[in-house]
Structure 1
Amino acid sequence: MSSFNRDVLVLILEELKNDKNSLFSCLLVNRTWCLIAVRILWRNPWQYFTIINSKIIMLFNVLFLHLSKESKDILKSQGIDNHITESHECPLFDYINFIKYLDFFFIRCMIPRKTKKTKISIVKSEIFKLFINNNTKFIHLSIPQNFYNQIHLIPGAEHCFSELESFHCNMDISQNILEWLVRCKSIKKLIIENMFFNYSVKCLEIIKLIEAQENLNDVKFINLSESYESFDKSLEKSLIKHAATIQYLRFDWTPITKFLLHFVNLSCLEIFLPGYSVWKDLNYFENISLPNLKILRTSRVRPIILTNLIENIKGNLTEISVLYDYHGDDSKMFIQAIYRKCPNLRYLRLSLLLFRNIELLISEYESLLSNSQYLNGLIIDIYTGYNTEFKWNEFFMILAKSSPISLFKFKFSSNKLIQLKDIKLFFDNWENRNSIILEISNKDYNVNIKAKQQLEDLIKKYKVKGIVDRYSIGFNTVYHENEFEWN
């Protein structure tokens, strides 16, 4: 295998780009394998770290080895004398040249904590020069909150970002950087976070940035804090210009116009309305079909609105995630629409606030499961009123009786602890099926150690029997993009 044609080997190892453990093993085969694997691993080294810890300090130490003698001399002349300026052997590879994803959250964190405040700008300048120069090119740029450095003025910036494909920023970004980026026309993926109306000038620059792109494919607006109709209309108008190429879209405001009517190639739609938002047009999706839509994720969108959309879709949906469904009679209609119109559904998440008609809703789950023959993962979040109880025992019996053979991944969350006898009932009736991968969440498990231990003891008994494969107990109901990709 070590004598593979190099081009073929590159294609094979590229398939492992999200499997770091396998790539680490490839480093040890021979120099050819090592060179290919190390390029893939260092393309986006930041993805392997979520918080600043000892491991990422090791990463920073490797990057510091690339500082030029000139930079080290500048730092020494300013009285900055620590491991940054120490002399070490050059690394085996030019790791900086391999990096294609530039994330300034991590770059900013590279400055040693012991650095005096008066010296931080000097250290920062030399670190920036390490990455931004005429020898490197990045395809992704991420700029975090409270970042005001004028990176576009650093020599080599024009070259570094000339082929930018992905851009992620917070709206308190420097306006000068936004104005400078408008000249970039190669961005395919755009993520904008925390848009406020008091950033009105920057909002206009965002619209210009959108309109300037030639092949925009993935657009996300996250945490739009104050929605103003005039801006929303302009934003929707700018998006329509890219309706033919955009396949992934997320927005956090109530639509002003019927702009979604134009997105015939949309594959993934995410609508996350803020708590104060009210979607008054209940028939918004009445004439909007979105024929290629496969993934639908929403929060605080009334099910009656979504029912119209699902009724018009041609059965291509494979994933539905609905959070904070304020339960009413239209929830039943919504579930009915799912099992009538979504025969290819693989993953489903329903987050329900229940105060009445609980029995009517439970009865719909049997039909849902019976008509979802490809369902693989199910997430159910139940939040009931003070005097209302969700009948988990009935729900679990339906689940054990009617689940398709493909279904074995479950996440259950509730504002009230699920009774052990109900969970035991579920396990007892789950025989001769695929072993369950299970997550049970409730905030009380963080403080009620006894209840958590009792649940864990119960699950372990059924793990020995082969009913349960893997499990997790805790409190984790926060939405994340890959919520169905659990092991």
Structure 2
Amino acid sequence: MKVKQLTEDCIKGILEYISDDKITLYSCLNANRAFCKSVVPILWRNPWINSSIFYDDTIFWKLIGKTILKCLPKESKETFYKKGLRLNSSIIEPPLFNYISYCQSLSDKVIQKLVDNIFDGYNCDLITLNDYKGMIQEEFWNLFLKQSYNIKFLKLPIFKIFEYPGAKRCLSSLSTLECDTFLPSEYFFEIPKYCHSIRRIEISMNFNNYNEGIESLILTQNNFQELKFISHEDKKFKFKNSKTLEFLSRSLKSIEFENRVCLSSQILSSFTNLTELHINLKNFDYCGLYCLKDIIIPQLEVLNLTNAVGVNFDIYSNLISNTQGFLRFIKIETKTHPPTSNIEIYLQTLTTYCPRIEVVPIWLARRQSLDNFENFLFSSNELKIIQIELKEPNDNVYNNREPVLAKPVLELLATRSNPELKKIYLKGKWSFSHTDLQKFFEMWKGRRFLTFHFDNEFYSYYIVKVCEEYYKQGVINGGTINYTSKV
């Protein structure tokens, strides 16, 4: 009997489905010609993010730089030799694919990194080396802007990019633009002539907190929905055109801040259609955080706080209470645990203002009453994923206490939570016997398959065996137990 082979379209569909799994895609490169032909275009959409797969970042950039050198036209390679630039002879060979044509992400930082690694260890004087680097950079920009058919992400460089041949065509489908406020406004005035569907703009605030060109660009886009600010100093970004704020109040769906909250509470509250708020506080920003207390975002669905500080949980709770029941996803990564009093307020706020919550982190303290936790579980009818972290005492005297019994928490999860709950993460020094865990899984039977994660350095052979048994029974479908054993 003949075994039917997968069609090329079927292979492409499968590989597209796993397009975020770069390690698996790399393993498919050597499977056969059909797989390789389908994988290469996916990996080269944004090849720069794949460096994490390699053990040595330098080796990755050297290899990919060498590949791009091969893609240069023959005339460019001949020019290198005429000007005394002696590179590896292997670049003369043409590449197997037109890799550049698949690329959808381009930035001056990437070009610079490629060039620096190509010349790493190259033996010549500094002036000549800089001349060679400038020559390669120019050739790379020409190559990408001529042969990349569909650039989606661009970091706007410090030159007029639309003066390059091919830029008008390959940037016409641009959806994300990253830019700096120090760039001349005229650099932005050119963009709307060729790009009308920019969805996201990422603004890095360097030296200036206003740029007329950026504001003008925003007003010209037909599908603008996302705005990100990367603030390097304690300044508020300025909008001087009232039409811009009117436009953003209608179109803006997502806003993100990195380092500092650089818009006033009044401006933030004017974005009434906002559904996502992302804040990464790499630097402490009390003034920016304090303004969150007064922000009213009625349709907010996603709240993502990174590098949050525990003592500010009253501010986060206040922000949640100023929404109008649409929140579905809350992610809070903390540098320090919240005080017990703030945990109680946070749980009460979730219970009162988040009836549609699906994904949420919870903190519980030692000797804390579980009443508010139980009320939250009972009221959360759409909860699907929950992370429960045990708050450690601030007093170092208590740091060596025995782990806290997880049994009552598990019983509440099994008896009070939404039947659609599918993932549970327990973080901190929790403990339970294998019989407690067995009882929990027995209570869970008949509900949705559960992914169960228990992060604790204490290893128990019996707990692992219980998990393996209920995995076989189909009660749980995956998870991580005690760091060492994957179910």
TM-score, scaled to structure 2: 0.73
Q: Is the 8 A contact 1:317 1:342 kept in 2?
A: yes
Paired with 2:152 and 2:121, the residues of 1 have a C-alpha distance of 32
**Does residue 380 of structure 1 match 2:389?**
yes
In structure 2, the partner of 1:313 is: 324
In structure 2, the partner of 1:250 is: 256
Paired with 2:462 and 2:379, the residues of 1 have a C-alpha distance of 32
Tell me: CA distance 1:389–1:178, structure 2 relative to 1, closer, same or farther (3 Å). farther
Query: Which runs of 5 or more structure 1 residues have no equivalent in the other structure?
Result: 441-454, 475-485
Partner of residue 49 from structure 1, selected from 42, 48, 51: 51
Paired with 1:471 and 1:150, the residues of 2 have a C-alpha distance of 54
Tell me: CA distance 1:427–1:219, structure 2 relative to 1, closer, same or farther (3 Å). farther
**Does residue 132 of structure 1 match 2:137?**
no
In structure 2, the partner of 1:466 is: 467
Aligned-residue CA RMSD in angstroms?
A: 4.1
Bigger helix share: 2
Partner of residue 154 from structure 2, selected from 132, 141, 154: 141
Partner of residue 436 from structure 1, selected from 430, 452, 470: 452
Tell me: CA distance 1:281–1:140, structure 2 relative to 1, closer, same or farther (3 Å). closer
Report the alpha carbon displacement of residue 64 of structure 1 after superposing the two structures with TM: 1.8
Q: For residues 203-222 of structure 1, what are the structure 2 equivalents within 5 Å?
A: 203-222=211-230
Q: Is the 8 A contact 1:17 1:23 kept in 2?
A: yes
**Does residue 98 of structure 1 match 2:102?**
yes
Report the alpha carbon displacement of residue 326 of structure 1 after superposing the two structures with TM: 5.5
**Does residue 72 of structure 1 match 2:100?**
no
Identity of aligned residues (%): 19
Q: Is the 8 A contact 2:153 2:175 kept in 1?
A: yes
In structure 1, the partner of 2:274 is: 266
Paired with 2:426 and 2:184, the residues of 1 have a C-alpha distance of 41
Aligned residues: 436
**Does residue 400 of structure 1 match 2:413?**
no
Report the alpha carbon displacement of residue 90 of structure 1 after superposing the two structures with TM: 1.8
Query: Secondary structure at the residue paired with 2:249?
Result: coil
**Does residue 168 of structure 1 match 2:178?**
yes
Tell me: CA distance 1:69–1:316, structure 2 relative to 1, closer, same or farther (3 Å). same
In structure 2, the partner of 1:62 is: 67
**Does residue 334 of structure 1 match 2:339?**
no
In structure 1, the partner of 2:357 is: 345
Q: Is the 8 A contact 1:188 1:216 kept in 2?
A: yes
Report Cα offsets for 1:346-380 as digits up to 9, x if no partner. 3223579x9xxx75576533433454463424053
**Does residue 108 of structure 1 match 2:118?**
no
Query: Secondary structure at the residue paired with 1:242?
Result: helix
Q: Is the 8 A contact 2:177 2:198 kept in 1?
A: yes
Tell me: CA distance 1:219–1:135, structure 2 relative to 1, closer, same or farther (3 Å). closer
Paired with 1:150 and 1:52, the residues of 2 have a C-alpha distance of 31
Query: Secondary structure at the residue paired with 2:224?
Result: coil
AA aligned to 2:427 is F
AA aligned to 1:296 is L
**Does residue 81 of structure 1 match 2:47?**
no
Report the alpha carbon displacement of residue 173 of structure 1 after superposing the two structures with TM: 5.9
Q: Which range is displaced more, 217-226 or 307-316?
A: 307-316
In structure 1, the partner of 2:208 is: 199
Paired with 2:332 and 2:173, the residues of 1 have a C-alpha distance of 34
Tell me: CA distance 1:284–1:437, structure 2 relative to 1, closer, same or farther (3 Å). same
Paired with 1:437 and 1:122, the residues of 2 have a C-alpha distance of 53
AA aligned to 2:360 is L
Query: Which runs of 5 or more structure 2 residues have no equivalent in the other structure?
Result: 123-128, 442-449, 469-477
Report Cα offsets for 1:37-80 as digits up to 9, x if no partner. 43223222223224724244333322221111221122222322
Paired with 1:360 and 1:470, the residues of 2 have a C-alpha distance of 26
Query: Secondary structure at the residue paired with 1:190?
Result: strand
Paired with 2:178 and 2:295, the residues of 1 have a C-alpha distance of 29
Report Cα offsets for 1:197-234 as digits up to 9, x if no partner. x2245x44333332332211222223453123xx4454
Report the alpha carbon displacement of residue 185 of structure 1 after superposing the two structures with TM: 2.9
Q: Is the 8 A contact 1:310 1:337 kept in 2?
A: yes
Query: Secondary structure at the residue paired with 2:94?
Result: coil
Q: Is the 8 A contact 1:318 1:344 kept in 2?
A: no
AA aligned to 1:410 is Y
**Does residue 277 of structure 1 match 2:286?**
yes
In structure 1, the partner of 2:198 is: 187
Partner of residue 121 from structure 1, selected from 130, 134, 138: 134
AA aligned to 2:284 is G
Q: Is the 8 A contact 2:103 2:148 kept in 1?
A: no
TM-score, scaled to structure 1: 0.73
Paired with 1:462 and 1:351, the residues of 2 have a C-alpha distance of 24
Q: For residues 357-376 of structure 1, what are the structure 2 equivalents within 5 Å?
A: 359=367, 364-372=372-380, 374-376=383-385
Q: Which range is displaced more, 267-276 or 21-30?
A: 21-30
Q: Is the 8 A contact 1:369 1:399 kept in 2?
A: no
Q: Which range is displaced more, 429-438 or 231-240?
A: 231-240
In structure 2, the partner of 1:443 is: none
Report the alpha carbon displacement of residue 4 of structure 1 after superposing the two structures with TM: 4.2
Paired with 1:438 and 1:376, the residues of 2 have a C-alpha distance of 14
Tell me: CA distance 1:281–1:20, structure 2 relative to 1, closer, same or farther (3 Å). closer
Partner of residue 289 from structure 1, selected from 298, 320, 345: 298
AA aligned to 2:480 is R
Paired with 2:105 and 2:290, the residues of 1 have a C-alpha distance of 41
